[in-house]
Amino acid sequence: MNFDQIVLFAIFFCVFALMLWGRWRYDLVAFAALLIGVAFGAVPVEDAFAGFGNEATIIVALVLVVSRGLVNSGAVDIITRQVAGSGRGLAAHIAMMGGIGGVLSAFMNNVAALALLMPVDMQSARKAGRGPGLTLMPLAFATILGGMVTLIGTPPNIIISQIRARTLDAPFAMFDFAPVGLSCALIGVAFVAFIGWRLLPGRVRDGGGEESLFELDDYIAELVVGEKSKLVGTRFGEIDEMADEADVAVIGLVRAKTRFSASSRHLEIRVGDVLIVEAGPEGIDKFRGLAKLEVDGEQKKGRATGEGMGVAEVVVPRDSRLDGRSVRAVQLLRRQGATLLGVSRHGQRFYERLGSLTIRAGDILLLYGSADRLSDVTRWLGALPLAERGIGVTQHGRAALAVVLFAVALIAASTGLTPLPIALGFVVALYVAFDIVPIREVYDHIEWPVVVLLGSMIPLGLALEESGGTTLIAEGIVDLTRGLPAAAILFVLMVVIMTLSDVLNNTATAVIGAPIAIDIARSLNVSPDPFLMAVAVAASCAFLTPIGHKNNTLIMGPGGYAFSDYWRMGLPLEILIVCTGVPAILVFWPL
């Protein structure tokens, strides 16, 4: 190996290790890796920021804005609100929701598709009297599967298409992924609907009923004893009756920097004390009213207790403004006038104050603030609401216009009339012109961490390819599988890429996997297209862990899943996708 190869392999090893560790955000890790590559001369200075102007990066950003336009117009809401009924059987409900999720995620960001359908699914679970854990994982997996069907359905497809354009002079077209992606998606959705949910652990599968649904909604919350509180001067042990009436558990009290447990029953409650309670949102609100308690920061904003205020339940995705930080660090109260009222994390109790508690992806938060501002606060945090979406936020009169504009752009790009980035650019411009996406919100809906990740990883991947590093990896795989037919090597490549995608970001996996696939095909003297398709499918299918895909992380808290629950459904699904994908690739993309 030459010096550049050694440097780049070391950089990628560190990048993968740090992403797997998860201590720092992946976009910051990738950007730091790019700078190190430039500093050592492995990445040419003139190419350092070329990734930010790459078509793949532009397409990903535009697709996110278009997705928001489809939501704002009410086009998606018209569909999703038709499936909230509880009259269907469980398998039929999962098949219906999974099918709709798959179709939506084929044409919009699959995280956005899940964000739209998750509240609907939880509402359906509530009406049917079953726990949401039975259906949320199948829904998340279905939205991941649907993204494989089109070029714009998932970032790996976009990346692989652009790498093909650079190395083979022609990108994949909009629906080139459809034959293989649709085959895998149909088989996968059928599996999760009729078999997969039965493989979930007993506490999820047998936990149906209204009680199990609400057990997931218990929060650890903090309520402040103000001057007008009925509890001032009472003993800690004397509030049991009021707590029972509100169905809350008072588990502690904080005075200044001292924390007292519930066993300190003779402790006299004073003004300024903070009660630590465990309850659902309704219980917290009722107890606050009965005892005339306050929420931290409420009086600082000059409002009478509860006047014009509301609560919102939200789930924290990866790369939210709060992921890995505390509300105190993001200055939630000062910047947005909202307070973190409670946190739910699989029934875990916390010993830190909520203001300094480090929030993790998958946590469910109870936000308290102005009822008119809570939706803006949720968007600012990058969180997703768990309550069913209201009709008032959409513009149903423009649904047809939004769909027609998007459809015309897809037709123009698919028939070669205009490149896809230009077509999507026109859609975004027209959405802004018709106020389908307000101009002030355009940049709010671009997932900047993904943009930075792509902009940083693309030059590193290109440098590894030009230095001969991907050829070395490809030769290693070919040597390990020497004597096996090309179809068997295709199978091995798919397994390797899928394994990487389970623990790493799928975008980073595709950036590295696509050049390796091309080098393997060249060494075997066969067409590279089937190997690129194998990477596209494998990079998108991350079902074994909650960290493999953002959709897996989003459902962890609301579904009440443990880390080890994912492989029960995910492992047989991945095996099924490989066994379906390889024959489909060989049929539609012959060697």
**CA atoms lying within 13 Å on the CB side of residue 470:** 22
Residue type, 360: R
Spatial distance between the Cα atoms of 101 and 138, rounded to a whole number of angstroms:
10
Indicate the class that CATH gives domain 226-293. Answer: alpha beta
Strand pairing report for 364-370 and 339-344: antiparallel
**Between helices 3-21 and 486-503, what is the axis angle to 10°?**
50
Query: What backbone phi and psi angles, to 5 degrees, belong to 256?
Result: 55, -115
Note whether 366 and 341 are within 8 A (CB): yes
Residue stretches of the chain with pLDDT short of 70: 20, 22, 76-87, 205-217, 297-308, 347, 351, 387-397
For the chain, the domains span 226-293
The pLDDT, as a whole number, for residue 393 is: 40
The pLDDT, as a whole number, for residue 206 is: 60
Tokens representing residue 588 in the block: 């539609």
**Between helices 469-480 and 448-466, what is the axis angle to 10°?**
80
Q: What is the mean pLDDT of the chain?
A: 84
Ranges assigned E (strand) in 441-515: none
Closest CA to 464 of 17, 59, 44: 44
Spatial distance between the Cα atoms of 291 and 467, rounded to a whole number of angstroms:
69
Spatial distance between the Cα atoms of 190 and 99, rounded to a whole number of angstroms:
9
Note whether 446 and 503 are within 8 A (CB): no
The pLDDT, as a whole number, for residue 308 is: 64
The pLDDT, as a whole number, for residue 141 is: 96
Closest CA to 162 of 461, 443, 489, 406: 461
The pLDDT, as a whole number, for residue 137 is: 94
Spatial distance between the Cα atoms of 151 and 128, rounded to a whole number of angstroms:
36
Q: State whether the Cα torsion 116-122-126-130 is positive or negative.
A: positive
CA angle 403, 405, 410 (to 5 degrees): 90
Q: Enter the pTM of the model.
A: 0.74
Tokens representing residue 327 in the block: 């509300």
**C-alpha distances out from residue 46 to 9, 218, 463, 469, 554, Å:** 21, 54, 12, 20, 38
| Sequence-separated (6 or more) residues with CB below 8 Å from residue 408 | none
Query: What backbone phi and psi angles, to 5 degrees, belong to 566?
Result: -70, -40
Tokens representing residue 50 in the block: 């070329």
Note whether 141 and 188 are within 8 A (CB): yes
- Tell me the pLDDT tens digit for each residue of 455-497: 898 898 888 888 888 888 888 888 888 888 888 999 999 998 9
Spatial distance between the Cα atoms of 261 and 113, rounded to a whole number of angstroms:
43
The pLDDT, as a whole number, for residue 213 is: 37
Torsion of CA 107, 108, 111, 117, to 10 degrees: -80
- Tell me the pLDDT tens digit for each residue of 88-133: 788 988 999 999 999 989 988 787 788 778 877 887 777 777 778 8
277: left (phi over 0), alpha (psi -120 to 50) or beta: beta
The kind and range of the H/E element at 224 are strand 219-224
